[in-house]
Structure 1
Amino acid sequence: MANTYICFLNLIFALLLSDSLLYEVALGLLPGVGDLLTRQLISYCGSAKAVFTTPKGKLLKIPGIGPLFVQNFNPTPALQQAEATLKLADQQQVQLLFYTHPQYPARLKQMADAPCLLFYKGSADLNHPKIISIVGTRQATDYGRRITEKIVSDLKKHHPVIVSGLAYGIDIFAHRAAVAEGLPTLGIMASGIDIIYPATHRKTAEKMLENGGLITENTFGTKPDAPRFPARNRIIAGLGDCTIIVEAAIKGGALITADIAHSYNKDVMAVPGPIDGKVSEGCNHLIKSNKAAIYTELRDLEELLNWDNALAAPVSKPSKAPLYNSAEFEPEEWQIIQLLLSSKEELMDNIAWKVQVPVSRLASVLLTLEFKGVVKSLPGKKFALV
């Protein structure tokens, strides 16, 4: 009897999740609603489903929502398309990860322009403790291939996830080296998850699914149009703890990825190459202009990311009493405290979507924490711990 009851509860929970996901997918399909506005709407309405049931008068009060959006607000086509997307995902064993999903990569949540919805197929842990992105030119040399394979081979003792873009050249060398070494590897795609591009890499992509995976922000059937590649690069840069550029021309996608990583305050490394090599100009320039740390051996990466200390024997330290006692706070208050402990300070809107508390409710919670002497307000609608 007890087992039957538990199964019934699990079924109800699964149905509720499916219902929520339908509205989460549909939200991004509404005309004029991109990633930033999606988070804004959920911050004010509380959930994706609530957006569809909020009166038009209240929608107009949300920053970024104008009369034209409200006038043309017709949820039916978006919900129908979302339902079709969910069916395809189920048929093709693809996970749809909305940014509030526990499996959504936490590293991407720190990006202001992070995709709200990811299409993911595979078995890798998207929140693995160590993730390294490796990218480079499509016109890779034998030197680039050898160095890429050596980097991945040397990384094996750390067992990181290797991220790249599934493209010709350095990208596919990195994926294949990871597969050969038994390391999980993620391919970030500029197409729909059902369109492997280039098609010649299909066999490698299929092998990657066994101990890694494929990720895209694009829905089924999306072709890899040129503008989608720079957008894809921001996911590569955002996922990695460090982005390593192996070979790159002075202009190209690899340097775009490096610039994006810089904008996210992520570490970038570059492998030096021959001074007369066209595909080494980009890497040499990054090193020369101090936009990338030089990579000559694994030790360089270990020191940059402090992985060398992680390999050393742990040093016992006297335990410190926690700064705050969770029992003294309401669940919403404690979520905010934990967030500010890790990020030091946050914009009010960022707090709302990261802890999933509507802005209308959040103002009251933050005020309570201020009265308790835990939180202080900063200029620009930012908040930090006292």
Structure 2
Amino acid sequence: MSKDLLYQVALPIIPQVGGGTARTLVKYFGSAEAVFEAPKERLVKIPRIGEVLVKSIMQSKSSALRQAEEVILRAEKEEVRLLPYTHPDYPERLRHVPDAPLLLYYKGNADLNAQKVISIVGTRKSTEYGRLVTEQLVQGLLQHDVLVVSGLAFGIDILAHRAAMKIGLPTIGVMANSVETVYPAAHKRDADKMLLNGGLLSEFPFGTKPDAPRFPARNRIIAGMADCTIVVESTSKGGSLISADIAHSYDREVMAVPGPITSETSQGCNQLIKSLKAVPYTKPKDLEELLNWDKALAPVALQKTQALDFSGFPEEEQTVLKTLQQAGPTHIDVLSRHTRFNMSQLSALLFTLEMSGIVKAMPGKLYSLV
């Protein structure tokens, strides 16, 4: 049993230690193990870590370590992967959001860092219109080999999962409970199929029930994993609007399917579009243009770019410049994946290159050579 994994599993088990707090502690002390070994005098000096939380850490760390041992053994037995946020297979897009979970429980075989990831969400009370749109939407993703993410719920969520499985696209169900229990139980057969080409993902430890407060927490993972979150149908107060708002707060793209003004299940989508929080989705090309997929997919041989000498630039800047030269105007998320720079690094590099006059920012979070 890995000692490092033991402490990373144990830390979020401590009461009142959420993902953001856990990462603050790890960043301050250098490792999860160091947090457990820190004396009270050092813990109280950390900004925004109050006396109540320090008391909880001091009182609960021994029991948390014992529980973590049990979690690791159970995970091995049930073939569940434990992914701390430092693990290379942890979803990279999710890692950089401010409230990313410290630890994920994952059962499946899909690449959580697929080149293209789309989240599809919507009302549990979906209509025939929603079903047709969801199937057409997913069909349009096939040529791009997209990983489809949703919440395994009734309505649009399960329709998206089923549509993906039907055409062979991998699909991930993000759960508001622990991965060993499928909720709702009616989707158990679908969940089993998803393990063959996709998987189930949760931040909640074994034995966690799907209580109401956990669904908004689940929604932030759905939004944080994806390049774009698409709302197919939603009432004016639908839970999928939470996913859209979270994605918007993460500076990720959001799309919504417009619907009849007489339809209750389209009111939320129409409002997202009206308030400029979402771009309308009416056909696959809308998504392709928004995420610049047509440019990113264009063969290098067809890119009519003039050979430029970047030898005078630092190595990291050269990487960005060569990628832009090959791909043309590129969305910042696509650029991040191609260069393997995290968003903070990439934003700093792009700012420097803009100041140098060789790169320009374009609408829609696109960047290109001048």
- Using the size of structure 1 for normalisation, the TM-score is 0.79
Compute the displacement of 1:69 (Å).
Answer: 4.4
Give the secondary structure class of the aligned counterpart of 1:139.
Answer: coil
Give, in whole Å, the separation in 2 of the partners of 1:264 and 1:20.
29
Q: 1:124, CA displacement in angstroms?
A: 0.8
| 2:44 alignment partner, one of 49, 60, 64 | 60
Deviation of 1:282 after TM superposition, in Å, equals: 1.0
Structure 2 residue runs of 5 or longer lacking an equivalent are: 317-340, 350-370
Deviation (angstroms), 1:107: 0.6
Counterparts of 1:150-161 in structure 2 under 5 Å?
A: 150-161=136-147
Deviation at 1:120, TM superposition (A): 0.6
Match of 1:376 in 2: none
Q: Give the aligned residue type for 1:324.
A: P
Structure 1 CA distance for aligned equivalents of residues 193 and 258 of structure 2: 31
Q: Tell me which residue corresponds to 1:344.
A: 348
- In structure 2, relative to structure 1, the CA distance for the partners of 1:246 and 1:220 (3 Å cut) is same
Q: CA RMSD in A?
A: 1.8
Name the stretch that deviates more: 66-75 or 272-281. 66-75
Stretch deviating more after TM superposition (61-70 or 267-276): 61-70
3-state SS of 1:127 partner: coil
User: Where do residues 24-173 of structure 1 align in structure 2 (5 Å cutoff)?
Assistant: 24-71=8-55, 73-74=58-59, 75-173=61-159
Deviations 1:216-240 (A, max 9, x none): 1111111101111111111111111
Q: Does the CA-based 8 Å contact 2:17-2:53 persist in structure 1?
A: no
Aligned pair in 2 of structure 1 residues 251, 70: CA closer, same or farther (>3 Å)? Answer: closer
Which one of 160, 172, 188 corresponds to residue 174 of structure 2?
188
Larger radius of gyration: 1
Counterpart position of 1:324: 314
> Structure 1, residues 44-101: CA drift from partner, whole Å, max 9, x if none?
2111111112233222322233445445503211101111111111111111111111
Query: How much does 1:317 deviate?
Result: 4.9
CA distance in 2 between partners of 1:22 and 1:242 (Å): 34
Q: Secondary structure of 2:104's match?
A: strand
Work out whether residues 228 and 254 of structure 2, in 8 Å CA contact, stay in contact via their aligned partners in 1: yes
Q: Say which SS state the counterpart of residue 258 (structure 2) adopts.
A: coil
Q: For 1:267-282, what aligned pairs fall within 5 Å after superposition?
A: 267-282=253-268
Tell me the CA shift for residue 321 of structure 1. 2.9
Which amino acid in 2 is paired with 1:171?
A: D
Quote the Cα distance in structure 2 between the aligned partners of 1:48 and 1:270: 40
Task: Provide structure 1 residue ranges, at least 5 long, that are not aligned to the other structure.
Answer: 1-14, 327-336, 346-386
Sort the Cα spacing of 1:198 and 1:158 in 2 relative to 1 into closer, same or farther, 3 A: same
> For this pair of structures, how many residues does the alignment match?
319
Amino acid at match of 2:265: V
Q: CA deviation at 1:129?
A: 1.0
CA distance in 1, matches of 2:151, 2:342: 33
- 2:96–2:342 CA contact under 8 A, matched in 1: no
For residue 307 of structure 2, what is the amino acid of its counterpart? P
Identical columns (%): 56
The aligned amino acid for 2:45 is K
CA distance in 1, matches of 2:90, 2:28: 21
Q: Any idea what the Cα deviations from partners look like across 1:105-157, whole Å, max 9, x if unmatched? A: 11112211111111111111111110000011111111111110111111100
Deviation at 1:324, TM superposition (A): 2.5
Contact 2:178–2:202 (8 Å) recurs in 1? yes
Give the aligned partner of residue 236 of structure 1. 222
Whichever residue aligns with residue 99 of structure 1, its letter is Y
Q: Distance in 2 between matches of 1:210 and 1:325?
A: 41
Using the alignment, how far apart are the partners of 1:318 and 1:91 within structure 2?
Answer: 55
* TM-score normalised by structure 2 residue count: 0.82
